Each structure stands twice: as structure tokens, then as C-alpha cells.
């Protein structure tokens, strides 16, 4: 599906940016699949974002949910976003790697900002 591949390309670019900037992060997989015996297995926490980051210098939590250009948050993701933000964390709904780069440009004292390169 075209939209899915767009999201995957965007996610790959974001993961590469985070890796190059040495930002502590991990892929946060959630989903479900059918087993060969007809069972249904869910994994991960519903609504949690595609990528989680822990930021210098204070361990700030950043969740990045990757969407294609027409994508939008589902109910579980909206709920998770609200909970993360209520705890002082940051949520980015990223439709391009630029959405993530712009965040780091504006993040206070970020060692990852372009102005520090
Ligand atoms: Mg996503």
C-alpha cells in the first residue's frame, strides 16, 4: 500500500536522524498478528508512539508517532499523547523528518540542534 510505504520511508529517515545525532531512542512496536493456529496476539501498549526518545540533559521523554501525509491519530494515540503531555513529556506527530529536526532546533539547549553542528 502506497501510504504505508510513505510512512516507512519517513520513519527510516527519522531513525537515521536520531542515530546520527546519537539521541537515545528505540522503536516501540505495537500491533497484533494472527498465529498459525488461528490465535490472535496483541503486543505493545495501545496508542504508544512508533519511536520513544530520552533527551539530554534531564531525561525528557519524547514520543514520535510517524504518519503519512494524510495520517491522523487514532483514539488510543490521542489518549496516550494526552497522558504523556500531562506528565511533562513531548509528543510529535511526524509527517516528515523535518518535523523532528524542527523540534530539536527549538529544544532548549539541545546539543542536537543544527546551530551546534
Ligand atoms: Mg505510525
Task: Summarize pLDDT for 30-47 with one digit per residue, the tens.
Answer: 888 999 999 999 999 999
Distance of CA 4 to the CA centre of its chain: 15
Answer with the residue of higher pLDDT: 15 or 107: 15
Residue 6 lies in a domain: no
Question: From the CA of 68, how far away is ligand 1's center (Å)?
Answer: 8
The continuous run of DSSP H or E covering 41 comes out as: strand 40-43
Domain range spanning residue 65? 23-106
Question: From the CA of 87, how far away is ligand 1's center (Å)?
Answer: 22
Q: For the beta carbon of residue 89, count every other beta carbon within 10 angstroms.
A: 16
**In this structure, which residues have their CB less than 5 angstroms from ion ligand 1?**
50, 66
**For the residues 9-23, what does the mean pLDDT come to?**
96
Question: From the CA of 13, how far away is ligand 1's center (Å)?
Answer: 14
CATH code for position 48: 3.40.1350.10
Residue 40 lies in a domain: yes
- Using the structure block, give the residue that is written with the C-alpha cell 520513544: 52
CA atoms within 13 A on the CB side of 72: 3
Question: Phi, psi at residue 77, to the nearest 5°?
Answer: -70, -40
User: What is the rounded distance in angstroms from the CA atom of residue 57 to the CA atom of residue 38?
Assistant: 47
Question: Phi, psi at residue 71, to the nearest 5°?
Answer: -70, 155
Q: What is the mean pLDDT of the chain?
A: 89
Amino acid at each position: 500500500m502506497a501510504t504505508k510505504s510513505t510512512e516507512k520511508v519517513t520513519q527510516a529517515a527519522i531513525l537515521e536522524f536520531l542515530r546520527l545525532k546519537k539521541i537515545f531512542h528505540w522503536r516501540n512496536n505495537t500491533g497484533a498478528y494472527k498465529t498459525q493456529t488461528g490465535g490472535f496476539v496483541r503486543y505493545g501498549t495501545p496508542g504508544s508512539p512508533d519511536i520513544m526518545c530520552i533527551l539530554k540533559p534531564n531525561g525528557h521523554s519524547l514520543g514520535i508517532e510517524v504518519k503519512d501525509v494524510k495520517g491522523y491519530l487514532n483514539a488510543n494515540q490521542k489518549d496516550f499523547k494526552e497522558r504523556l503531555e500531562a506528565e511533562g513529556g513531548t509528543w510529535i506527530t511526524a509527517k516528515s523528518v523535518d518535523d523532528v529536526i524542527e523540534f530539536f532546533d527549538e529544544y532548549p539547549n539541545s546539543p542536537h540542534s543544527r546551530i551546534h553542528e
